[in-house]
Copies of this chain bind each other. A is one copy, B any other.
Amino acid sequence: MHIDKLIDSIKQKQNPTVVGLDPKLEYVPDFILNNSFDKFGKSLEGAADAIWEFNKALIDQLYDIVPAVKPQSAYYEMYGWQGVQAFFKTIQYAKQKGLFVIADVKRNDIGSTAAAYATAYLGFTDVAGQKIAVFDADAATVNAYLGLDGVQPFLEHNKTIFVLVKTSNPSSGQLQDLAFGDKTLYQNVAELIKDWGSNYVGKYGFSNVGAVIGATYPQQLETLRKSMPNTFFLVPGFGAQGAGADEIIGAFNTNGLGAIINSSRSIICAYKNKNCMQQDFAMAAREEAIKMRDDIIKALGGGTL
């Protein structure tokens, strides 16, 4: 199954982390911004070029350390269709460098429209009889509010999805913690995910239907790990959102598998936090990614994944 591609890479790099490429313009070093603005003006084109160059340099310093990157679509859509082109280029470049790419798009809609989203992010679109790959990511995040109709189309491309279960943000409980009988809403979603993924279980015992569970809710993370043995977790909220290595160990099973931990700002803005030279921003990101990997492996007991 497709999820095995991600797990193979986690084991090969001995690193269960993913770098979130959330390229706000204020994160990009001035020398890159100036170069892009010189070429394209202080415009959406210029901004899109800057975030692409920022990402490319980061990927060049990260690809041998981490198994995956997760570009967050909103930060590209903020720069228009030009930004979305940078999103596309980022995905293709990361794949060229052997990275597993999770398109963080949280898409959702009724059946026919969900099929269009699935085609865009995971499949091939038909143009006059030709099949053309569009964004061609390895995985996408999906919001299941509309039920199976909105999720099933994403399962038809032999790729991976991560469905929102218990999100990392402060107000996540407003709906997700509503109790229906003895189960919360997010527990209901978790049960559906187990069911939806049951026909797509791979060689490591995990299915192509993963779950998004925030590191900022470590108790729920641990409980869900036990109740969802075949579900791979994408875990945001590590680093800048507040969670550390101790909060996320509950996301892993006894083999040290079962989760990939995301960090965005802590890694891509490491050069700002460390107060080092702008030119060294990608090297600073690399060092932070190595430290994150080492901290997590140590928290897991130091064994081999």
A interface residues with partner B (beta carbon < 8 Å): 22, 24-25, 33, 37, 42-44, 46-47, 72, 74-75, 77-82, 84-85, 87-88, 106-111, 113-114, 116-117, 119-121, 125-130, 132, 134-135, 143-150, 164, 167-176, 178-181, 185, 188-189, 192, 236
Contact = CB atoms under 8 A, between A and B. Distances in A.
A23 to B, nearest CB: 11
30 contacts: A25-B126, A33-B128, A44-B127, A47-B125, A72-B109, A74-B116, A75-B116, A77-B116, A77-B117, A77-B120, A78-B116, A79-B134, A80-B135, A81-B82, A81-B85, A81-B87, A106-B109, A110-B236, A145-B145, A145-B175, A145-B176, A146-B175, A147-B171, A149-B170, A149-B171, A150-B169, A174-B192, A175-B188, A175-B189, A185-B185
Contacts of A75: 113, 116
Contact of A127 (B43, B109, B181): B43
Contacts of A135: 77, 80
A171 B148 contact: yes
B173 A147 contact: yes
Contacts of A179: 180
